[in-house]
Structure 1
Amino acid sequence: MTAAGAGTDRARSSWSNLLRTWRELDVPEGWRAEIGDGRIQLIPPPPMGHHVIVGEVRRSLYGNLPDALGVHQTLSVHVASLGRLYVPHLVVMPTALVDAADPEVNNPMDAADALLVAEITSQGNARDDRTKKYRAYARAGVPVYLLIDRFDTRGPMSTVFTEPNEDGTYKRSDAVPFGKPLALPGPFDVTLDTEAFPT
């Protein structure tokens, strides 16, 4: 076995061990467990403002969503090629895939199957949402990444990233300050009213 092959086997084994441990965790209610950088990280419950924003985005998405798609909160998604597992605030996923999953097993969904992922920054994780998660979702080919960043240096901003590249970037982005409308592309074809987002 070559050194590269041994390294790949070790990485696979490490990912399998992390995923097994993640499945067995007894996470306190409201907390989320994510995998990144070779470790499991516990994320505390979000502040009330997150719930208001999630509710507004959910309402907007359901207004025009095809029946074959569902909007899910705290649905875990993984980017196995990067050894990452995240629990976004919202994920739009084909209903058939979620329905086909074993209801008794805590398996993450493949991020490549998501049509939209939304993250809302907290003060402690804003950098990860802007960099690591941005790159991971782009590498996975998630068509739409919605970043609602209450801690942007320009002031609270909502940004929709589209046209993912395999290099971990998105070709297009549209950013608006809170209070301005933000259009989401098809199959959503809705405009988010960010005026209702608390700062």
Structure 2
Amino acid sequence: MTAAMVEPDQTPQGRPWDYLLQSWREVDAPEGWRAEIDEGQIVLVPPPHARHHHIAGVVQRALYRNLPEELDIYQTLGLHIAPLDKLYVPDLVVVPSELTATADPDSNDPVDAAEALLVVEITSKSNAKDDRTKKLCAYAHAPVPVYVLIDRFDEHGPTTTVFTEPLNGAYKHAERVPFGETLSLGEPLSTDIDTGRFPR
């Protein structure tokens, strides 16, 4: 993971966030890399491992089984966490289809994370701590109703945790299962994810 710091004296008139967002829109990241905004920096996240992609595919197929017509799933959609001026590109995000169908064709603006119904992050060795802490906190602040953390590198063994009921920047409820067990998601997705299909 690499970062490009935006110094205050380099920021033109206006809010630093506006400058960061404009810079993010213009980033020419290498193929497969994702640009995010965190702590006043544009951060480039390298392409994940093939097993990471496999897990994303398993989850996406499971979500599509019962996905309401008015919702869609994306793997490269930027989410703006407005209360914290952060921008993440989660591994999977479920949002109302209308948000992308009616988006400005000349803009590459991120979607307000408060519009997301579910976000999935799959840890890599280089970013596991961020997914467990910074992103957990950010998605709760958004607030995103459901955050699914798939952690292949948990110190107790590979696990999947579903965080729900965000309140005041924290999730009130968490259900954690080891790889191999089935995880149930409630409304509006109403689907089961067989974590036994996740490679370790």
Deviations 1:33-66 (A, max 9, x none): 0000110110000000111101100000000010
C-alpha RMSD over aligned residues: 1.1
Match of 1:165 in 2: 167
TM-score by length of 1: 0.92
1:107 Cα deviation after fit? 0.5
TM-score by length of 2: 0.92
1:38-187 equivalences in 2 (<5 Å): 38-166=40-168, 168-187=169-188
Write the distance in 1 (CA, Å) between the matches of 2:76 and 2:149. Answer: 16
Structure 1: gaps (5+ residues): 1-9
Write the distance in 1 (CA, Å) between the matches of 2:41 and 2:82. Answer: 14
Write the distance in 1 (CA, Å) between the matches of 2:143 and 2:23. Answer: 27
1:141 Cα deviation after fit? 1.4
Structure 2: gaps (5+ residues): 1-11
1:29 and 2:31 matched: yes
Write the distance in 2 (CA, Å) between the matches of 1:17 and 1:87. Answer: 18
| DSSP 3-state at the match of 2:99 | helix
Write the distance in 1 (CA, Å) between the matches of 2:152 and 2:132. Answer: 12
| DSSP 3-state at the match of 1:117 | strand
Deviations 1:74-126 (A, max 9, x none): 10001122010000000000001111111331100000000000000011101
Q: How many residues align?
A: 188
Match of 1:189 in 2: 190
Identity of aligned pairs, percent? 57
